[in-house]
Structure 1
Amino acid sequence: MFKHPLFTKLMALAAIALLLLVGLSMIESVVQDRLRYRSITAQSVADSLAGPQTLMGPLIHSACVESWEVETGKGDERRMVEQRREFRLTAMPEQLKLTTGATMEERARGLHKVNTFNLKAQVTAQWGSLASLQPQSTQKNSRMHCGAPIVMMAVGDARGIRTARLTIGDQALALRPGTFHPTYSRGLHAGLPESVRGKADGLTATLELELVGTERLAIVPLGGNTEVQMTSSWPHPSFGGRFLPSEREVRSDGFSAQWRLSSLATTAQADIAQGSRICIGGYDESPAEYTPGSATPRDCADSFSVAFIDPVNPYSLSDRAIKYGVLFIALTFVAVGLFELMARLRVHPVQYLLVGSALCSFFLLLVSLSEHLPFGVAYTVAAAACVLLLGYYASHMLGSAARGLPLAASIALLYGILYTLLQLEQTALAVGAVALFLVLAAVMVLTRKVNWYGLTSVGARPAQASAGAVPGSAE
């Protein structure tokens, strides 16, 4: 059995398939390297411009110190020692409304492009009673000292602030950098008069803010009732975080989304009061740069986000295409094997190797061309080159153009199906499964009358085709 020509050929094809798998893995490593370079590019843009952004606020806070004296010691050693308690008073808005619009701009480093956004936001915050800013003594005869109330707005990366204007009623307040908050230090603030402390009828603040950032925007729903309306020219938003939009409309020219949240559904106010970290995606915004955070969802304040990332960038599409490489090679080998079986041809393992190598070269062509051309054009050029090459070679390998052209047409059909799968997001698995089932059904129908036992019988070697057989081919 082990000396049977069919067994020998199967072993040779298995070795060739293993060699081609190694080639595919090397091409896949090239794509992974390109994806890493793109991540480095995104980091470089964030370092030079501004990173992923967060909006948290406005809120009012005031730092206070309570001090009192305690008698210590006995007899002549008795003395008075001052003790202190430092704390912070915070007033969260009862109503918070954000109306935002984001325009996109591509930034490039070499061949790699990164999406940045320019956000124009109008933030309106309404406070009811500000009794929470009135300090309460915890010790008898203590002395209380509080700093001036501060209204602040925290952002993820203060370098992205372009313009800002804050008004309370009809009065414009002078804005200063920083927030004077120990946890959320990046942002802007304005001082408020002492008269607002304990104010029963509250106040309303309006902030007009222009902010730039890279790829992702997160918002903390800090109000008792929070309403966010967002529009953008980006047609591929990725909504994330703890809350999805209540309403959204995604169009080819952009999207619009609306969030309506109540403090009954979110712990954002308690999280911020406790100084919880603000995490967006895989990034932890507290306290330093843009490195993956180790915080779990329980450690992070409630927030929601929108990512302006291209879901079909050429590297992710090429990576997805390579995952179908094994199936491509297997189906092509099956097709060539059917021609061998049905037409009584003999195809040398070296010829299988060359056909498989041509199929592998498609993926390398696709990666390299998509760096310079639109993905659809790059895919068409790479597929056309491989189909023409395989059609020409198969016409000689199989003995005639009448056999080679159908093989080339079937490979072209495979490329067409693969391109369709790459463009689909929700139904890719279903379409791929149906296509694979149809191919399997076609093979079963074509081989339904083949006597497989006869192929392994002694002397049952298929006759070599008299027309167009490859000279010198052997098993």
Structure 2
Amino acid sequence: MFKHPLFTKLVALAAITVLLLIGLGMIEDVVRDRLRYRSLTAQSVADSLAGPQTLMGPMIHSACVESWDVETGKGDERRMVEQRREFLLTAMPEQLKLTSGAAMEERSRGLHKVNTFNLKAHITAQWGSLASLQPQSTMKNSRMHCGAPIVMMAVGDARGIRTAQLTLGEQALPLKPGTFHPTYSRGLHAALPESVRGKADGLTATLDLELVGTERISIVPLGGNTEVLMTSSWPHPSFAGRFLPSEREVKPDGFSAQWRLSSLATTAQADIAGGSRICVGGYDENAHEYPPGGTTPRDCADSFSVAFVDPVNPYTLSDRATKYGVLFIALTFVAVGLFELMKKLRVHHVQYLLVGSALCSFFLLLVSLSEHLPFGASYAAAATACVLLLGYYASHMLGSLARGIPLGAGVALLYGLLYVLLQLEQTALVVGAIALFLVLTAVMVLTRKVNWYGLTQGMAPQTPHTPKATGFPLPAVPGHTTNATNTTTHTPTKESP
């Protein structure tokens, strides 16, 4: 059994497959290294320009201190000691409208590119009564002191602020960096006149803001009613966070999305008043880190976000493509095996190894070319080179051009199917499953009349071997005669009395 040619070939093919899997693993390591380098590039751009951005506000706050005297000690040691309480008064807008447009700008470090955005936002905030800015005494005969009311706008990374203009009613207010808020310190602010404290007829502020950032913009729905309209020329948005858009339209030339939220549906106002962190997709904007486990902590304020993802990221697509390498090798080996079986050919193990190596080289060509060319052109160049090489080699390996061309065409069909799968997002699994089923059906139809037992008949015990003529005379043995063909014939002898 172990010396049968079929068993030997299966063992050799198994060893070749293991070697090719090791090669594919090394190529996957190269792709992962490139992905890691790209992540470092994105971090480098964020460090130099601005990171993912967050918009929170506008809101009004005022820092207050309540102090009172407490008598301590007894007798001659009695004295008055001042105690104090520090607190923050906040006023959230009743109506918050944000209209924005995001223009994409591509930044690069060496071969790696990162998506950045330039956001131009027009924000209108309306407050009703500002009674919440009136301090309330908690101790008898206490003294109250409050700082000037401050209207503030918090952002994720203040380095991204390009221009900003704030108008209160018809009056333009000078803006200064920082927010003077103990939790959300990055942003801008303007001091309001003391007369607005406790104002009953409300207040309207308008902010025009130009902000740059990297890859994602997040918004906290701080108003009693929040309306956000965002448009962009980027055709691949990824909506995330606690709320999806109420309306959205994604086209090849860009997208538009609109959110309408009520304070009845979100706890953002209470979260911000309580100093909760702002986290989107597990990312803590204040700590600039992802919490353990990659999940959004429970103490994060409600928010929603738009990420400007790149679906044709060459490294991501190359990583997905290499995962199909084993299937490519298996299907090509099956095709060569069918030629062996149906056409009574013999293909050497080394030829299988060379064919598999050519298939593996496609993935390395793909990732290397995609660093310099668009992914579609890189894929076409790598696939064409490998198909021509395999078609040429198969014509000699299988004995004729008429046999090599179908094998090359089959490999080209595999590359075409893989490209379709890489472009699909929602239906990739079902298309791949159907294609694999069709391949299996074709193999079963082609081999339906093959006598598989006939391939292993040589493994049965063989009959005793009859010596053939050697052409040399045999030595004479008493009682035997030798014929002309060197076979011996036994002649009975008479027993002596």
| Alignment TM-score > 0.5, same fold | yes
Mark the runs of 5 or more structure 2 residues left unpaired by the alignment.
461-497
In the aligned structure 2, how far is the partner of 1:203 from the partner of 1:314? 50
* AA at the equivalent of 1:215: E
Which of 289, 292, 295 is the aligned partner of 1:291?
A: 289
Aligned to 1:261: 261
1:444 paired residue number: 444
Q: What's the CA shift for 1:459?
A: 6.7
* Partners of 2:334 and 2:317 in 1: CA distance: 26
> CA offsets per residue over residues 9-42 of structure 1, 9 Å max, x none?
1111111111111111110111111111111111
Q: For the residues of structure 1 that align with 2:22 and 2:282, how far apart are their CA atoms?
A: 32
Aligned to 2:346, the other structure's residue is in SS state coil
Superposition deviation, residue 240 in structure 1: 0.7
Cross-structure match for 2:324: 324
Show the counterpart of 2:488: none
What secondary structure, in the 3-state scheme, does the structure 2 residue paired with 1:154 have? strand
Q: CA RMSD in A?
A: 1.1
Q: How does 1:401-416 map to 2 (within 5 A)?
A: 401-416=401-416
Q: Once the 2 structures are TM-superposed, how far is the Cα of residue 306 of structure 1 from its aligned partner?
A: 0.5
**1:145 and 2:145 aligned:** yes
**Secondary structure of the equivalent of 2:61?**
strand
The answer for the alignment partner of 1:353 in structure 2 is 353
- The structural deviation recorded for 1:400 is 0.9
Of 291-300 and 218-227, the range deviating more from structure 2 = 291-300
Whether the 8 Å CA contact 2:282–2:297 is kept in 1: the answer is: no
For residues 398 and 63 of structure 2, the distance between their equivalents in structure 1, rounded to whole angstroms, comes to 85
User: Structure 1 residue 280: deviation in Å?
Assistant: 2.6
Identity of aligned residues (%): 86
Q: Which residue of structure 1 aligns with residue 375 of structure 2?
A: 375
Note the C-alpha offset of 1:4. Answer: 2.0
- Indicate the residue corresponding to 2:246 in structure 1: 246
Cα shift readout 1:212-260 (whole Å, capped 9, x = no counterpart):
1111100000000000000001111111111110000111111100000
Aligned to 2:491: none
* Residue of structure 1 equivalent to 2:312: 312
Partner of 1:301: 301
The residue that corresponds to 1:473 in the other structure is none
Residue 456 (1) aligns with residue 445 (2): no
- TM-score, length-scaled by structure 1: 0.95
| Residue aligned with 1:172, SS | strand
**Separation in 1, partners of 2:337, 2:204:** 77
Deviations 1:47-106 (A, max 9, x none): 111111100000000000111111122222222111111100000001000000011110
- Deviation at 1:311? 1.6
SS for the counterpart of 1:311 is coil
Query: Where does residue 108 of structure 1 map in the other structure?
Result: 108
| Aligned residues between the structures | 458
The C-alpha deviation readout for 1:317-373, integer Å capped at 9, x for no partner, is 111111111000000000011111111111111111100000000000000111111
Give the secondary-structure state (helix, strand or coil) at the position aligned to 2:184.
Answer: coil
**Where does 1:144-183 land on structure 2 (aligned, <5 Å)?**
144-183=144-183
Query: What secondary structure sits across from 1:137 in the alignment?
Result: coil
Taking the aligned partners of 1:3 and 1:450, their CA distance within structure 2 comes to 23
Structure 1: give runs of 5+ residues left out of the alignment: 461-475
Q: CA offsets, 1:121-153, max 9 Å, x none? A: 000000011111111111111111100000000
- Give the equivalent residue in structure 2 for 1:384: 384
Q: One-letter code of the match for 1:455? A: L
Quick check: which has more Rg, 1 or 2?
A: 2
CA distance in 1, matches of 2:73, 2:363: 83
Residue 426 of structure 1: how far off its partner (Å): 1.0
Aligned partner of 2:480 in structure 1 is: none
2:225 equivalent in structure 1: 225
Q: Does structure 1 residue 198 correspond to structure 2 residue 181?
A: no
Q: TM-score, normalised by structure 2?
A: 0.91
Cα distance between partner residues in 1 of 2:291 and 2:117: 23
Partner Cα separation in structure 1 for residue 3 and residue 131 of structure 2: 93
Aligned to 1:208: 208
Q: CA deviation at 1:166?
A: 0.4
- Distance in 1 separating the partners of 2:393 and 2:299: 61
Cα distance in 1, alignment partners of residues 312 and 459 from structure 2: 54
1:298 aligns to what SS in structure 2?
coil
Question: Counterpart amino acid of 1:273?
Answer: A
Superposition deviation, residue 453 in structure 1 = 1.9
Tell me by how many angstroms 1:282 deviates: 4.3
Q: Which residue in 2 is equivalent to 1:463? A: none
The aligned amino acid for 1:213 is: G
| Secondary structure at the counterpart of residue 90 of structure 1 | strand
3-state secondary structure, aligned to 2:298:
helix
Partner of 1:135: 135
Aligned to 1:73: 73
CA contact (8 A) 2:116 2:212 kept: yes
Structure 1 residues 259-313: Cα deviation after superposition (integer angstroms, max 9, x where no partner): 00001111111111111111133421114xx433447331211110011121221
Q: In structure 2, what is the equivalent of residue 468 of structure 1?
A: none
Which amino acid in 2 is paired with 1:40? L
State the 1:399 CA deviation.
1.1
**Mapping of 1:1-16 within 5 angstroms?**
1-16=1-16
* 2:390 equivalent to 1:365: no
- Is this contact kept in 1: 2:68–2:83, CA < 8 A? yes
Q: Distance in 1 between matches of 2:21 and 2:96?
A: 56
What is the alpha-carbon distance in structure 2 between the residues aligned to residue 21 and residue 92 of structure 1?
60
Query: d(CA) in 2 for partners of 1:418 and 1:343?
Result: 29
Secondary structure, counterpart of 1:458 in structure 2 = helix
Q: Secondary structure at the match of 1:335?
A: helix
**In structure 2, how many angstroms separate the alpha carbons of the residues matched to 1:342 and 1:72?**
106
Tell me by how many angstroms 1:2 deviates.
2.4
Q: Secondary structure of the residue that 1:437 maps to in structure 2?
A: helix
Tell me which amino acid in the other structure corresponds to 1:191: A
